[in-house]
């Protein structure tokens, strides 16, 4: 595939895989040999230093049964079933990802949840729906700055008035954090875009952020951030 091709879709209207995904994360998300190894809770939990359950539960708890929620990109482990269960049979979970291999895997994990649907789209492109909530779980650190800005902007645009966006991701750990040098090495080796997220407030990534009230919590010595943006209801004149 020509990475300089400006078109975002193939002739068949299928979103092209972003260049950064092909270049940096082929082994993690586009290879059917590694997928069964990575998509295991103990592996995800080890990668997140034992925090996977807590981070996933805290994110899911931001949403309520009956809501329509967008999960921005597939996530290894139990996240999608947990979120679908949280929304319940009256809710709707829309999982969007650009990689067909990941979508097929998410469909398999969500087979018992009729409230969940899975579809292919590039989150760098505007979304065609509005949601009560959108959730990006460890997506932003894996995309370059330009695409990160587009994704945050598109996700905020997809939040209905009164709805919320939830971003769970890496953050700059406290200076004394014993894992700080380890994570520095991991990011240098495997996650080349992560460093540009660590000290950047997510609300600085989109001009649309001004229409939201933002709250940020850091967890595990600052290594993780849980950010909630609530869109203020529109006034009658707006």
| Contact footprint for ligand SAM (CB under 6 A) | 18, 21, 29, 44, 73-76, 97-99, 102, 122-124, 137-139, 142-143
Q: CB neighbours (10 Å) of residue 12?
A: 5
Distance CA 107, CA 99 (A): 12
Distance CA 210, CA 235 (A): 15
Instruction: Give whichever of 146 and 232 is closer to ligand SAM, judged by the CB atom.
Output: 146
CB of 214 to ligand SAM, least distance (A): 21
CB of 191 to ligand SAM, least distance (A): 9
CB of 186 to ligand SAM, least distance (A): 12
- Tell me which residue of 184, 166, 145, 138 sits closest to 28, measured CA to CA: 138
CB of 142 to ligand SAM, least distance (A): 5
Token pair recorded at residue 237: 């004149």
- Tell me which residue of 237, 187, 230 sits closest to 209, measured CA to CA: 230
Instruction: Give whichever of 137 and 167 is closer to ligand SAM, judged by the CB atom.
Output: 137
CA-based end-to-end distance of the chain: 44
CB of 10 to ligand SAM, least distance (A): 15
Distance CA 174, CA 166 (A): 22
Instruction: Give whichever of 30 and 218 is closer to ligand SAM, judged by the CB atom.
Output: 30
Instruction: Give whichever of 88 and 220 is closer to ligand SAM, judged by the CB atom.
Output: 220
Instruction: Give whichever of 190 and 210 is closer to ligand SAM, judged by the CB atom.
Output: 190
CB of 28 to ligand SAM, least distance (A): 7
Nearest residue to ligand SAM, scored by beta-carbon proximity: 73
Instruction: Give whichever of 21 and 205 is closer to ligand SAM, judged by the CB atom.
Output: 21
Ranges assigned E (strand) in the chain? 68-72, 92-97, 116-120, 131-137, 159-170, 212-219, 224-231
């Amino acid at each position: 595939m020509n990475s300089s091709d400006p078109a975002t879709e193939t002739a068949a209207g299928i979103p092209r895989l972003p260049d950064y995904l092909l270049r940096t994360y082929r082994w993690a998300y586009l290879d059917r040999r590694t997928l069964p190894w990575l998509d295991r809770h103990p592996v995800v939990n080890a990668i997140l230093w034992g925090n996977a359950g807590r981070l996933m539960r805290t994110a899911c708890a931001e949403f309520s049964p009956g809501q329509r929620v967008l999960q921005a990109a597939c996530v290894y482990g139990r996240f999608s079933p947990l979120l679908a269960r949280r929304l319940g049979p009256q809710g709707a979970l829309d999982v969007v990802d650009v990689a067909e291999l990941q979508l097929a895997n998410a469909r398999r994990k969500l087979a018992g949840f009729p409230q969940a649907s899975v579809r292919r789209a590039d989150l760098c492109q505007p979304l065609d729906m509005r949601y009560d909530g959108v959730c990006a779980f460890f997506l932003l650190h894996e995309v370059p700055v330009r695409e990160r800005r587009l994704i945050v902007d598109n996700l905020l645009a997809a939040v209905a008035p009164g709805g919320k966006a939830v971003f769970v991701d890496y953050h700059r750990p406290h200076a004394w954090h014993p894992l700080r040098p380890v994570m520095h090495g991991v990011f240098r080796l495997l996650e080349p875009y992560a460093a540009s997220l660590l000290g950047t407030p997510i609300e600085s990534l989109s001009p649309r952020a001004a229409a939201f009230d933002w709250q940020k919590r850091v967890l595990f010595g600052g290594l993780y951030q849980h950010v909630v943006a609530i869109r203020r209801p529109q006034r009658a004149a707006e």
